[in-house]
Amino acid sequence: MKKPHSDQKLILNLSNGDKNALYLLYDNYSGALYGVVLRICRNETLAQDVLQETFVKIWKNSSSYDPEKGKFYTWAYRIARNTALNALRKTDNLIQNEDLSVYTNKTSAEPEPDYIQLNGSINTLEPHHQTAIDLVYFKGYTHQEAHEEMGVPLGTFKSYIKQALKQLRKTYTKQLVWVYFIFEMIA
């Protein structure tokens, strides 16, 4: 999924209150954000609600987005992640109020759905790097929670993330070189 060049213009229109700009941005970004939200929520109905809520927030807070501070995806990702975590916290409370055991049994008994599987360059990483990226970027863990989950010290965990990102950078640069190379060949 490649983003069209008009993103910057769309974002500008969005902050000027253009609803169509929001719908076009939805077309461009909803897939990537839904991938994150779905992996955090592990529940399609809840994830769809969260995705909708995320775009409502993007619409309402569009004036607070500052392109100088970061990319639109980064900003939207933060909103999606927080919305998903809040929604999970709410449903957790509800379920715990009803019956705690139902929830814990359910999560452990159910097989992992297909969408949990990560795709693309992340699969070229070493397993522990993959896990680290998955926990923090796709499952909504904080660094603190994630290092406990993996059972390694925080410093070690942080270096996993750093190394993983460095590795990804290399992969993507290689891909770019290949693309450039093929481009040259065709031309």
Partner 1 sequence: MEKDKILDEGLLEQYLIGELSEEDALMVESALQKDIELKQHFLQMQDDFEKMGFENAVTPPFQVKYELQKRLETPLAKKTNRMPLLVAASLALVFMLSTVWLYTKWQNTEKNLESLQITTADLQNRLDNLEQSYLLTSNRLETINNPNVIPLILYGNDIAPNSKAVAYVNHTTKLVVVNPQGLPKLPANKTYQMWSDVDGEMINMGIVPTDEELVTLKYIDRAESLNITIEPAGGNDHPTVEQLVSYVLL
Counting other chains too, the contacts that 69-74 makes at CB distance below 8 Å and 24 or more residues apart are 72/7, 72/11, 72/25, 72/29, 73/29, 73/32
For residues 160 and 132, the answer to whether their CB atoms sit within 8 Å is: yes
Q: Shortest distance, CB of residue 186 to partner 1, whole angstroms?
A: 23
Whole-angstrom Cα Rg for the chain? 19
Nearer to partner 1, 48 or 95 (CB): 48
Among the listed residues 11, 14, 21, 36, the single contact to partner 1 using CB under 8 A: 36
What are the residues whose beta carbons fall under 8 Å from the beta carbon of 71, sequence distance 6 or more?
Answer: none
For residues 37 and 140, the answer to whether their CB atoms sit within 8 Å is: no
Task: Determine the interface stretch with partner 1 among 16-24, 92-100, 101-109, 178-186 (rule: CB under 8 A).
Answer: 16-24
- Assess 48 for contact with partner 1 (CB under 8 A): yes
- Assess 84 for contact with partner 1 (CB under 8 A): no
Per-position x/- string for 91-130, each x denoting binding to partner 1 as judged by CB under 8 A, each - no binding: ------------------------x--xxxxx--------
Q: What angle do CA 79, 22, 15 make, to 5 degrees?
A: 80
- Assess 25 for contact with partner 1 (CB under 8 A): no
Instruction: Give me the DSSP letters along 76-95.
Output: HHHHHHHHHHHHHHHHHHHH
- Assess 55 for contact with partner 1 (CB under 8 A): yes
- Assess 77 for contact with partner 1 (CB under 8 A): yes
Q: Which residues lie near partner 1 (CB under 8 A)?
A: 1-3, 19, 22-23, 26-27, 30-36, 38-39, 48, 51-52, 55-56, 59, 69-71, 73-74, 77-78, 81-82, 115, 118-122, 133, 136-138, 142-143, 158-159, 161-162, 165, 168-169, 172
